[in-house]
């Protein structure tokens, strides 16, 4: 299960690897990531999602802090 969020930049989440630890949401300088309480992934966690991709600056901080390598960040797609 892959979730893609695309505007100027693109975030790709490998949903089933996410453990809902919230580190990406806490680290995001734009505060545009949260745990999606409406979904449960294969591990039984609420996976991370981006709710405002328009404001993403593709800094890569969410991906670097993620212990489970869930997030891929692409600039200028």
Partner 1 sequence: MAKVVYEKSRGLTDNPLSYCPGCTHGIIHKLVAESLVELDILERTIAIAPVGCSVLGYDYFNCDGVQASHGRAPAVATGIKRTNPDKIVFTYQGDGDLAAIGTAEIVHAAHRGENMTVFFVNNAIYGMTGGQMAPTTLIDMKTSTSPFGRQLEGTGQPILVSEMLSQIPSVYYIERVAAHDIPHLTKAKEAIKKALQNQVDGKGFSMVEILGTCPIGWAKTPADAMEFVKEKMLPYYPLGVYADKASNAGQGEVK
Query: CA nearest 19: which of 61, 51, 47, 50?
Result: 47
The pairing of strands 10-14 and 2-6 is: antiparallel
Tell me, residue by residue from 4 to 43, as one string, x for binding to partner 1 by CB under 8 A and - for no binding.
Answer: ------x------x-xxxxx--xx---------------x
Query: CA nearest 11: which of 42, 38, 25, 37?
Result: 25
Rule CB under 8 A: choose which of 45, 47, 48, 49 binds partner 1: 45
Residue numbers of the site for partner 1 (CB under 8 A)? 10, 17, 19-23, 26-27, 43, 45, 58-61, 63-69, 71-77
């Amino acid at each position: 299960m892959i979730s893609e969020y695309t505007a100027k930049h693109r975030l790709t989440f490998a949903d089933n690897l996410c453990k809902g630890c919230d580190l990406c949401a806490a680290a995001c300088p734009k505060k545009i990531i949260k745990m999606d309480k409406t979904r449960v992934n294969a591990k039984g966690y609420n996976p991370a999602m981006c709710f405002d991709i328009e404001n993403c600056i593709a800094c890569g901080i969410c991906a670097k802090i993620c212990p489970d390598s869930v997030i891929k960040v692409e600039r200028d797609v």
